[in-house]
Structure 1
Amino acid sequence: MLQIPFWKRLLIWGVVVLVLFMAMPNAFYPRVERHNDAVKLIEAEGETPERLADMSAWPGWLPSSLVNLGLDLRGGAYLLAEVKVEDVYADRMDGYWPEVRDALRAERETVGSIRRVDGPAGELHVKIANPEAMGRAMEVVSELSRPILSLTGTGSNDIDVSGQGDTLVITLSEAEKLATDDRTVRQSLEIVRRRVDEVGTREPSIQRQGEDRIVISVPGIGSADELKELIGTTAKLTFHGVVSRTADPDTAPGARNFVAPSMDEEGVYYILSQDTVVSGEELTDAQPSFDQNGRPAVSFRFNPTGARKFGDYTAENIGAPFAIVLDNEVISAPVIQDHIPGGSGIITGSFTVEDSTQLAVLLRAGALPAELTFLQERTIGPELGQDSIDAGKIATIVAFVAVLVFMWLSYGLFGIFANIALVINVGLIFGLLSIIGATLTLPGIAGIVLTVGMAVDANVLVFERIREELKTARGPSRAIELGYEKALSAILDANVTTFITAVILFALGSGPVRGFAITLGLGILTSVFTAIYVTRLIIVMWFERRRPKTIEV
């Protein structure tokens, strides 16, 4: 006999009602979206009458999770960027120089005097006065090497040391270059993500592609140029001692110095020491503010290490100018008036409020470790996104109606039961997408359309099996029960194989492929649930109420 315990019925309907309740906000998408945006702005910047009005557009006690719309549905910007990983090699060698210098100075009696000389990018060249002691110099520097902590470089050291006449040459080892490349791309990925998140865009997609490329898709942003302005700058902030000012950009700066143009003063150039007093990596915070004259500025604060360096330098160089350099341009070069021990200060210049806010965002997110070269860029307008949504709606409605009519014509009343379960199934898909915070793309809509067609497969198997059982002169109750029991293995086999395909697509694919895999996988789960439990429960409830002597499937 058909029997489903009361607790199981309660559980089935409870799951259905709960997930459909979570899907409900998607039926009021614009209102809920305004509510969510207002809540975020109030938390970040405070209340205004407009924000409070937008927040009240949706009751706070109702769920407010939405299915996020992807780039192809909402419109936005797409960039494919390549990370210039080679740029990091020179910085690594500059960082090694103080250690090498101190180690060789301790061996001055053997190797003689030392000095750094210019060499190719990514190589550290040190000239020693006593070439006969080159072996000892190489041994001393080799002791500074560190083991590589990576799966591919285990057992290797991070530097290679060689001698060329009276010059010691230090380079990164090949294993360290590979590890450095991987770290550089990972760090760039994280910094790009932080910069995009700072401006509050909705559900950006930032993924690694290949060894040194990053794919950036940001829905809702105005253009690819706007996105490039946000993430394309390295925002490398450094503080340097000022040697002199000049109007000639071709002036020879001298050893270990460089020429940087002024950002504010046209035709003015500064000769700066290459030795960095403090770097932007030691910044802990940067906020837009105003100087004592009410002009837009950026206030900053260093971590303890940076604060100590900054404090020591200002104490030792009172009356001397020092330069605040952003991406090799001098923002300002104030004269140190007094010791600054607190590790905080303010950057002034010819800023607008928008400029100071943008600079604060970039500094707070951190400096990109290497330059990004943009290989592809694409802007998708909101009109095209709306066209995609409209096309997806039409495709879904056509598929939905066609399946409903087919099931009704093929199976009569039982087809209507399957159609009710199909409507519930689509609602469950949107509920699960909302719960997990997934992003719906145009391929994702294709996955839903495909699910609509596949969702009735399980019911078709069951109904055809019930027909077979009815031909053996079994009673309707027993025929329905055997139909579900004998069709179960075929239902599971067919859907498990498709679900495995969806998992593989999600694991190996990216972007649109993953969007398709997510909706396909969730659709399979909800289809099996509705076919095995919801449709059966509807049939059982109908059977208990009507008690038919015969049934037509």
Structure 2
Amino acid sequence: MLKNLTFRWFLIFFVLIASFYFVYPTYSQYSDNNYNGDQNYIKLGLDLQGGMYVMLELDQEQLIENIANKPSPKYLEAIKTASNNAFENQSDFLDELLLVSDAENIQLYKFYSRRVHSGRTNQDVIIFLENESSKARESVVEILRNRVDGFGVNEPNIQKSGKKRIILELAGVDDPTRARNLIQKTASLEFALVLEDQILKVSQIIDKVLIDKPQLASSSSDANRTTNVNSINDDLEENDEFTIEDLSIDSKIIASETNNEVLKSNPFSGFFKPVYNLFGSIANVYESEVEKIDYILSLEDVKKVIPTSGRFVWSSKAKSSIEDGLKYRALYYIAKSPVISSGDIVDPSANIGQSGGNNVGQWVVNLSMTSNARTRWSKFTGSKIGKQVAIILDNKVFMAPSIQTKISGGDTQITGLDDANEAKDIATVLKAGELPAPVNIIMESTVGPSLGDRTIHASKNAMLIGFIIVIIFMLLYYKGAGLVANFALILNVLLILSVLSTLGTTLTLPGIAGLILTIGMSIDANVIIFERIKEELKTGKSAGTAILSGYESAFLTILDANVTTLIAAFVLANIGSGPIKGFAITLAIGIICSMFCAVFITKTVFLTFTKNKVSI
């Protein structure tokens, strides 16, 4: 059938029409019309459009802690050791955890006995943890995709890299800080009781520990931390100016409140300031002293005396006091177990507060609950009237209102937000779901749209100049045959663009380089064929016979060169990422299209000419 010229021309015209059809959405998208259909089109990558490139890494350490059943201090220390070893040796964390666990005679199975069903050895548990890590990353990818869609990024590129990394390419992003916050939020939402009647008792216990063991500060394992309990007391005794410079406090009177004997007898609770008009909390701390409190709470001896029924959580933002103009953060002591969590929330939405409420004209996030959660919430609010309930997102208290009456409807709001973007982002992350484990940004870069415009302009010029030079050369050197090759070359470019458009490919600068390389390879195939035909004509063969023999003898050479290049492109596409993958995909598509155009189309034209005795 392929020897039938009519069929060959029918196939060529069919491919030509299909190419125009599939490339039209791309043309329309980047013309003044702006394509609004459902078909795919070629998107511009970060280096052409501008945007944000982010490489994330799943926090495996936190993941395996989250799914463990009451991990012992020894096991938690083993996790830290394995993490440090993996960083120093550039090795896999779970492999290091296996080595550390075996060396310390830690039986991993007892921490995961409820979930592991296929063996009890440490190796079996590590295999289970690898599977859980893989599942968690799949979940993170899907959640991030939903979040980014809600952010309004057009066609984000999200792909996995290695065992625990994720690459995001967010084209057109003009607010990297907002995007970064949106990506990293775990979206862990909790409604928990504020244990306001216990915070002073727990704080006094911590005070006693620090007084009884003043060596705790100097024995800290955090060598990088320069602020500790002892140095705080010493500096406050010896240097009155410490609190003015290092704590950024304007008033010497207020500075003296933390620069006297209070911290000697109350090294923890002495930092608390009862500024009630800010948070309704008795534990308000200068914003500049938050790290000191965090340090104290991180001490192992302090952790041991904090009741397991509660935990300390900071307010999400600092507020300035009307009385003194200083910034404070509230420290809440809340119940360990929340009454409502992320899985109980449905249909979160960002809205402007309606008339009749306390938040008229302000942005809020409205939350609805599942039927089971409504029942729990109703019983909880009915039994805790007069108590505070903290609404916590990503371990930060956004608000802690007092319960005035029993709430039966299951609807509530998050208030106190800065602007529409914050409200919308919170609603987006809650709607997308909670991440199974935190993700950390390990690499980030941004490209401005102006650089992308210059790159596009330079790429267009490079492609156009190269294209014109090739066409002129083929016409001058091969004359009529060169005209045929140029016809095939134009069809080749059109065909490549149509395939890229059909696949919805994101075109990057390396992708354009692959396209230009393909043009050269396509002409190279024609040069080989034409030289073979010349050789056949010199032996005295007729034009038709010489053409058939020339294509036949050149085919294996062309096939061999293209197949080896195709293999290289396949390898690059599978092991590479970002720009390398874009180059490989464009190159692979170009090779296949070039084979069709250089061998099939030009041969059809030559056979038609010889059949009609047209001289070329």
Q: TM-score range by the shorter chain?
A: 0.7 to 0.9
The answer to whether 1:92 aligns with 2:49 is: no
Aligned to 2:182: 230
Pairing of 1:3-18 with structure 2 (within 5 A) = 4-18=4-18
Q: What SS class does the counterpart of residue 235 from structure 1 fall into?
A: coil
Q: Report if aligned partners of 2:485, 2:602 keep a CA contact under 8 Å in 1.
A: yes
Q: Matches of 2:33 and 2:75 in 1, distance apart?
A: 54
- Residues 483 and 354 of structure 1: is their aligned pair in 2 closer, same or farther, counting only changes over 3 Å? same
Aligned to 1:71: 46
Q: Report if aligned partners of 1:147, 1:157 keep a CA contact under 8 Å in 2.
A: no
TM-score by length of 1: 0.76
Aligned to 2:55: 80
Q: Matches of 2:194 and 2:313 in 1, distance apart?
A: 10
Q: Matches of 2:513 and 2:421 in 1, distance apart?
A: 41
1:368-403 per-position Cα deviation (integer Å, ceiling 9, x unaligned): 333333333222111111222122222212321222
Aligned to 1:24: 24
Aligned to 1:42: none
- Residue 247 of structure 1, CA deviation: 2.5
Aligned to 1:427: 494
Q: Matches of 2:536 and 2:368 in 1, distance apart?
A: 78
Aligned to 1:332: 399
Identity of aligned residues (%): 35
Q: Structure 2 residue aligned with 1:286, among 332, 342, 348?
A: 348
The answer to whether 1:182 aligns with 2:143 is: no
Q: Matches of 2:438 and 2:343 in 1, distance apart?
A: 16
Q: Report if aligned partners of 1:407, 1:419 keep a CA contact under 8 Å in 2.
A: yes
The answer to whether 1:260 aligns with 2:313 is: yes
1:122-181 per-position Cα deviation (integer Å, ceiling 9, x unaligned): 899xxxxxxxxxxxxxx9x959814547xxxx5347999xxxxxxxxxxxx544444444
Aligned to 1:409: 476
Aligned amino acid, residue 455 of structure 1: S
Aligned amino acid, residue 155 of structure 1: G
**Which stretch of structure 1 is more off in the superposition, 440-449 or 380-389?**
380-389
The answer to whether 1:155 aligns with 2:119 is: yes
Q: What SS class does the counterpart of residue 572 from structure 2 fall into?
A: helix
**Which stretch of structure 1 is more off in the superposition, 278-287 or 305-314?**
305-314
Aligned amino acid, residue 346 of structure 1: Q
**Which stretch of structure 1 is more off in the superposition, 511-520 or 469-478?**
469-478
Q: What SS class does the counterpart of residue 231 from structure 1 fall into?
A: helix
Aligned amino acid, residue 21 of structure 2: F
Q: Report if aligned partners of 2:388, 2:403 keep a CA contact under 8 Å in 1.
A: yes
Q: Structure 2 residue aligned with 1:495, among 562, 578, 584?
A: 562
Q: Give the structure, 1 or 2, with the largest relative contact order (CA under 8 Å, sep 6 or more).
A: 2
Aligned amino acid, residue 535 of structure 1: T
- Residue 267 of structure 1, CA deviation: 4.9
- Residues 490 and 286 of structure 1: is their aligned pair in 2 closer, same or farther, counting only changes over 3 Å? same
Pairing of 1:381-420 with structure 2 (within 5 A) = 381-420=448-487
**Which stretch of structure 1 is more off in the superposition, 521-530 or 269-278?**
269-278
Aligned to 1:465: 532
Aligned to 1:199: 151
Unaligned regions of 5+ residues in structure 2, if any? 80-106, 197-280, 286-292, 298-304, 320-327
Q: Structure 1 residue aligned with 2:426, among 351, 359, 367?
A: 359
Q: What SS class does the counterpart of residue 598 from structure 2 fall into?
A: helix
Q: Matches of 1:118 and 1:444 in 2, distance apart?
A: 51
Q: Matches of 1:77 and 1:450 in 2, distance apart?
A: 27
Size of the aligned set, in residue pairs, is 473
Aligned to 1:167: none
Q: Report if aligned partners of 2:364, 2:416 keep a CA contact under 8 Å in 1.
A: yes
Q: Matches of 1:486 and 1:321 in 2, distance apart?
A: 86
- Residue 305 of structure 1, CA deviation: 5.2
Q: Report if aligned partners of 2:59, 2:437 keep a CA contact under 8 Å in 1.
A: yes
Q: What SS class does the counterpart of residue 86 from structure 1 fall into?
A: helix
Aligned to 1:271: 333
Q: What SS class does the counterpart of residue 401 from structure 2 fall into?
A: coil
1:322-348 per-position Cα deviation (integer Å, ceiling 9, x unaligned): 221112222223344555555543323
**Which stretch of structure 1 is more off in the superposition, 421-430 or 478-487?**
478-487
Q: Matches of 2:463 and 2:414 in 1, distance apart?
A: 55
The answer to whether 1:247 aligns with 2:269 is: no
- Residues 273 and 33 of structure 1: is their aligned pair in 2 closer, same or farther, counting only changes over 3 Å? farther
Q: Report if aligned partners of 1:261, 1:270 keep a CA contact under 8 Å in 2.
A: yes
- Residue 283 of structure 1, CA deviation: 2.9
Q: Structure 2 residue aligned with 1:453, among 497, 511, 520?
A: 520
- Residue 518 of structure 1, CA deviation: 0.8
The structure with more strand, counted as a fraction of residues = 1
Aligned to 2:90: none
Aligned amino acid, residue 79 of structure 1: V
**Which stretch of structure 1 is more off in the superposition, 240-249 or 399-408?**
240-249
TM-score by length of 2: 0.69
Aligned amino acid, residue 193 of structure 2: G
Aligned amino acid, residue 285 of structure 1: D
Aligned amino acid, residue 276 of structure 1: P
Aligned to 1:110: none
- Residue 526 of structure 1, CA deviation: 0.8
Q: Matches of 1:502 and 1:267 in 2, distance apart?
A: 55
Q: What SS class does the counterpart of residue 288 from structure 1 fall into?
A: strand
- Residues 148 and 532 of structure 1: is their aligned pair in 2 closer, same or farther, counting only changes over 3 Å? farther
Q: Report if aligned partners of 2:49, 2:449 keep a CA contact under 8 Å in 1.
A: yes
Q: Report if aligned partners of 2:190, 2:392 keep a CA contact under 8 Å in 1.
A: yes
